[in-house]
Amino acid sequence: MGPLLLLGCCLFTLLIVPVSLFLVTFAFRHSCKLVGLERPSVLVAAGILFVNFLALGLMDAVLLEVVTAVGAACPPPSTRRCCGCGSGRRSRCGSSTGCSSTRSPPPSGWSCSSRSREPMTGYFATCARGLEQVLADELTALGAADVARGRGGVTFRGEPALLYRANLWLRTAVRVLRPVLEADVRSPDELYDAVRTVDWAEHLTPDHTLAVDANVRDTAGITHSQYASRRVKDAICDQFREKLGVRPSVDPDRPMVGFNLHVSRDHAVLSLDSSWDSLHKRGYRPIQTRAPLNEALAAGLLLAAGWDRTTPLADPLCGSGTFPIEASWLALSRPPGLTRRWFGFMGWPSFDRGLWAAIRDDARDGVRKELPAAVVGSDVRRDAIEFARTNARTAGVGHLVRFDRVDVLDARPPAGPPGTLVCNPPYGERIGDEEELFGLYRAIGEAAEKHWKGWRVLLFTSNDQLARAVPLQVKKQLQFFNGKLMCKLWEYWN
Ligand SMILES: C[S@@+](CC[C@H](N)C(=O)[O-])C[C@H]1O[C@@H](n2cnc3c(N)ncnc32)[C@H](O)[C@@H]1O
């Protein structure tokens, strides 16, 4: 009850006592006159007073009931919010898909400790290092709350619908995780104990299959990712066995509830993996040429470069066609997860099939049929062009993106206004010999200057010397990681 209501209650009581006394005395005198009892005995007077106070007490009780009912129907904001760190409201966060976006974030990232036995809320989308800002922009555009860049990923919060949209739409994310436990652990046994502190019945049942994908580094006491993953699985299964006598079984390939364990410098974060298979696997590239570019990285480079999606784009060293295919999906507003059959969240007990179908169908309805400008690719290798064409057909853009077998020296811009030339030439790490490559990088620059005047020229490579061999003035360079390899996207004046 609020202080104002309490005050009102007291005033009401103070007011009603004299009024009631007056009324009862008045009624009493008239009753006595009526029955001819001029002088009532002390006993009768006491009886009347008792009845009066009983009536007052009843009125107060009724008033209190009304106040309590009103209070329950309109709780203060803090109780309407989802579970918070240290708020002791875990039971209100039964949904495994996250908390209300109205909740305040934990003080410092995933700072809720497992020791406090509070589940963490919110999400962490992982990405290649260097793409954090691009991913953060993507999440903001999707309507995510509290978007914050981290190292190799972005934290954010949102409703279940946002989690579905994130998996469907994010072009630069590798996976979207929902952290449920964070703890300092120095050994596999400490990891086991920490995992036991979570009530796993909130996230799965013994009928669900599970798997734990672990990544452990810089932790002296835990040296094997596989063993760490087994200890996590044991802790979850043991809890179920002790409570219910049955335990979930393991499906390493397609678990209904997949976990992601990340241990670094004695610090563990255990998350539900809402994606399971990496989101960079778009499904259009079963066949690979040598050294293909990761799809999420290719899309991220286009976004980081600020390609506007409405002007032409060409990759004259296209390999399997990753840049042109990702560019066409961007220009068509086609979500990268549109035809993907399985996301990790689909096996969760909280999975809302109707909501997911509505989100996916809505996205499908919004895909454009035509490209606003030409998107083309070419390569000197015949097999590369065949792969690129097959991949484009699988991606549903075979009729929209043109691929030609031609040397970069002979490649020409498509008709229309100047656009963006982007390429990822061999850089000596996996294919090609560095010495020979200097000639190729020089040729790319010369061809751009001669035939692609007015076009933006973007080149992605891990080799700074090769990039500087391009006979064009460097305008900008952005740094990214392609796996463990530090690479740069170079832009030249043309
Ligand atoms: C690193 S791969 C590009 C990979 C591509 N981005 C992908 O995602 O598959 C480099 C490509 O440059 C092509 N290439 C090398 N020399 C070329 C030349 N002179 N003209 C055109 N393409 C060339 C190779 O055939 C190879 O496919």
Mutation test residue for ligand 1: of 290, 302, 379, 438, the one with most atoms within 8 Å of CB? 379
Residue 373, Cβ neighbours under 10 Å: how many?
A: 18
Candidate of 281, 302, 317 to mutate for ligand 1, largest count of ligand atoms within 8 Å of Cβ:
317
DSSP 8-state symbol, 414: P
pLDDT per residue over 281-305, tens digit each? 999 987 555 678 999 999 999 999 9
Number of H helices, E strands in the chain: 13, 15
What is the CA(424)–ligand 1 centre distance, in A?
7
Cα(491) to centroid(ligand 1), Å: 18
Q: Quote the ligand 1 centre to 377 CA distance (angstroms).
A: 10
How large is the average pLDDT for residues 133-143? 98
Rounded to whole angstroms, the Cα distance separating 54 from 49 reads 9
DSSP string for 341-393? ---GGGGSTT--HHHHHHHHHHHHHT--SS-SS-EEEEES-HHHHHHHHHHHH
Q: Residue 1 corresponds to which tokens in the numbers above?
A: 């009850």
pLDDT of 69 over the 80 cut: no
Give the range among 80-84, 253-257, 388-392 with minimum mean pLDDT. Answer: 80-84
Distance 463 CA to ligand 1 centre (A): 15
Atom of ligand 1 nearest to the CA of 460: 6
pLDDT greater than 60 at residue 116: no
Which range has the worst mean pLDDT, 2-16, 108-122, 183-197, 339-353?
108-122
Q: Which helix (H) or strand (E) holds 189?
A: helix 188-196
- The CA 473 to ligand 1 mean position distance, Å, reads 23
Q: What is the mean pLDDT of the chain?
A: 83
Distance, in Å, from the CA atom of 275 to the CA atom of 178, rounded to the nearest integer, reads: 10
Ligand 1 centre to CA of 293 (Å) is 10
Question: Which 3 state secondary structure label does DSSP give 458?
Answer: strand
33 CA distance to ligand 1 middle (Å): 115
Q: What distance in Å separates the CA atoms of residue 324 and residue 391, rounded to the nearest whole number?
A: 11
Which alpha helices (H) appear in 267-349, and where do they start and end? Answer: 295-304, 322-332
Identity at 363, one-letter amino acid code: A
Over residues 377-386, the mean pLDDT reads 97
Q: Which residue has the higher pLDDT, 338 or 433?
A: 338
CA of 423 from ligand 1 middle (Å) equals 8
Residue whose CA is at the smallest distance from ligand 1 atom 5: 319
> How far, in Å, from the CA of 443 to the mean position of ligand 1?
13
Which tops the pLDDT comparison, 121 or 390? 390
Residue that the structure tokens 């040429």 belong to: 289
Nearest CA to ligand 1 atom 1: 426
124 strand-pairing partners: 155, 177
Atom of ligand 1 nearest to the CA of 288: 9
Rg over alpha carbons for the chain, rounded to the nearest Å, is 34
Q: What is the pLDDT of residue 120?
A: 39
Residue 65 has pLDDT above 60, yes or no: no
Average pLDDT over residues 147-153: 97
Question: Can you give the pLDDT at residue 28?
Answer: 54
For residues 33 and 485, the model is more confident at 485
pLDDT more than 90, % of the chain: 71
Chain centre distance of CA 337 = 14
pTM, two decimal places? 0.77
Q: How many CB atoms lie within 10 A of CB 118?
A: 22
pLDDT grade, residue 255 (50/70/90)? very high
Residue nearest to atom 14 of ligand 1 (CA): 317
Query: From the CA of 378, how far away is ligand 1's center (Å)?
Result: 8
Average pLDDT over residues 189-199: 98
For residue range 434-455, list pLDDT tens digits in order.
778 999 999 999 999 999 999 9
Q: How far is the CA of 407 from the centre of ligand 1 (A)?
A: 10
Q: What is the pLDDT of residue 433?
A: 75
Average pLDDT over residues 246-275: 97
75-89, 137-151, 356-370: least confidently modelled range: 75-89
3-state helix, strand, coil in the chain (%, to 5): 40, 20, 40
Which atom of ligand 1 is closest in space to residue 432's alpha carbon? 15
Task: Tell the residue nearest (CA) to atom 3 of ligand 1.
Answer: 319
Q: Whose CA is nearest to atom 17 of ligand 1?
A: 380
Distance 317 CA to ligand 1 centre (A): 4
Residue 384 CA: nearest ligand 1 atom is 27
Residue nearest to atom 26 of ligand 1 (CA): 319
Let me know: does 379 contact 331? Beta carbons within 8 Å.
no
Q: Whose CA is nearest to atom 27 of ligand 1?
A: 319
Q: Residue 408 CA: which ligand 1 atom is closest?
A: 20
Atom of ligand 1 nearest to the CA of 440: 19
Q: Which residues line ligand 1 (CB under 6 A)?
A: 289, 291-293, 316-320, 322-323, 379-381, 384, 407-408, 424-426, 440
Instruction: State the distance from the centre of ligand 1 to the C-alpha of 431, rounded, in angstroms.
Output: 10
**216-248 pLDDT, tens per residue?**
999 999 999 999 999 999 999 999 999 999 999
State the distance from the centre of ligand 1 to the C-alpha of 21, rounded, in angstroms.
100
Distance from the CA of 434 to the center of ligand 1, in angstroms? 14
Q: What is the pLDDT of residues 388-426, one digit of tens each?
A: 999 999 999 999 999 999 999 999 999 999 999 999 999
Atom of ligand 1 nearest to the CA of 320: 9
Residue bearing the CA closest to ligand 1, atom 25: 381
Among 320, 380, 437, the mutation site with the greatest number of ligand 1 atoms within 8 A of its Cβ is 380
